[in-house]
């Protein structure tokens, strides 16, 4: 259980799975327990997927969100799922039910969407994927929560209100946890992780495009080590 959590306070994964859903391939608590930062990965060359994932895992970062923004996204998820069993690989930029199904078929264990559509929630339930639906307003939090989602991606976190917004949501949405992404940096991430309703955050800073292009896996491992050293204050 993450620091600052009271037992039973947060919504649980059973709510997302629901009576008709498949067993989740990864629960919110498993994802949170694996570390405080989820890299948001844009991959151009599928050959980079496995060495990149190994470097991140070596640096202590096991949860990997591979976005579907490039044609290499799905094959990269499949390669990581097959060859890097220590990683918990999921799909980001899931924008439709078909994306969710394709991610599940590739071997993803969770999905992240920039916004929320009930059809994506249903597709993830059917496929056994934990979904972190994107929200940026109170109404969106309410819609996602009503469908059983209790770990939400706050996106784009900094432009949409940052730490102040998360503090404001802690009152009415005391049972919801947030993964802020969008505009965070290694310097500002600790301010987000200090909040009781933020067990984990995300960002693209762990996999910079130039480092990926250069295949500088030692540099990626160093960035991962620094990110995994970020901790919620006790």
- If we measure between CA atoms, which residue out of 115, 118, 116, 136 comes closest to residue 126? 118
Shortest Cβ 12–ligand 3PG spacing (Å): 25
**Residue with token string 């991959």:** 43
Residues 84 and 50: beta-carbon distance below 8 Å: yes
Nearer to ligand 3PG, 143 or 205 (CB): 205
**Residue with token string 């059809």:** 119
**Residue 232 annotated to the active site:** no
- Return the ∠ at Cα 138 (arms to 132 and 193), rounded to 5°: 55
**Residue 187 annotated to the active site:** no
> Which position among 116, 155, 178, 217 is part of the footprint of ligand 3PG (CB under 6 A)?
155
Q: Does 204 bind ligand 3PG (CB under 6 A)?
A: yes
Question: CA 92, CA 231: separation in Å to the nearest integer?
Answer: 23
Question: CA 178, CA 21: separation in Å to the nearest integer?
Answer: 23
Alpha helices in 154-216 (DSSP H): 162-170, 189-193, 209-214
> Which position among 181, 197, 207, 228 is part of the footprint of ligand 3PG (CB under 6 A)?
181
Shortest Cβ 136–ligand 3PG spacing (Å): 11
Q: Does 203 bind ligand 3PG (CB under 6 A)?
A: yes
How would you classify the pairing of strands 130-135 and 201-203? Answer: unpaired
Q: Does 161 bind ligand 3PG (CB under 6 A)?
A: no
Shortest Cβ 18–ligand 3PG spacing (Å): 26
Residues 211 and 220: beta-carbon distance below 8 Å: yes
Residues 49 and 82: beta-carbon distance below 8 Å: no
Q: Does 121 bind ligand 3PG (CB under 6 A)?
A: no
Among candidate residues 140, 153, 167, 187, the one labeled active-site is 153
String marking each residue 85-114 x if it binds ligand 3PG according to CB under 6 A: -------x----------------------
> Which position among 75, 161, 183, 186 is part of the footprint of ligand 3PG (CB under 6 A)?
183
Active site amino acids: 65, 153
Binding site for ligand 3PG (CB under 6 A): 40, 92, 155, 181-184, 202-205
């Amino acid at each position: 259980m993450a620091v600052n959590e009271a037992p039973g306070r947060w919504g649980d994964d059973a709510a997302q799975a629901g009576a008709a859903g498949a067993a989740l391939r990864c629960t919110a608590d498993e994802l949170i327990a694996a570390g405080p930062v989820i890299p948001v990965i844009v991959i151009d060359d599928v050959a980079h997927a496995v060495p990149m994932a190994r470097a991140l895992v070596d640096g202590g970062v096991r949860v990997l969100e591979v976005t579907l923004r490039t044609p290499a996204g799905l094959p990269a998820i499949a390669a990581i799922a097959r060859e890097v069993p220590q990683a918990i690989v999921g799909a980001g930029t899931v924008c439709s039910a078909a994306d969710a199904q394709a991610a599940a078929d590739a071997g993803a264990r969770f999905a992240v969407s920039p916004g929320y559509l009930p059809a994506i929630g249903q597709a993830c339930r059917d496929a056994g994927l934990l979904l972190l639906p994107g929200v940026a307003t109170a109404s969106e939090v309410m819609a996602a929560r009503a469908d059983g989602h209790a770990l939400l991606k706050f996106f784009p976190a900094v432009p949409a209100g940052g730490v102040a917004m998360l503090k404001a949501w802690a009152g009415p949405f005391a049972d919801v946890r947030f993964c802020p992404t969008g505009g965070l940096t290694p310097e500002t991430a600790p301010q987000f992780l200090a909040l009781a309703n933020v067990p984990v955050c995300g960002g693209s800073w762990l996999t910079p495009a130039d480092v990926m292009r250069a295949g500088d896996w030692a540099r990626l491992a160093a960035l991962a080590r620094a990110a995994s050293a970020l901790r919620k204050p006790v």
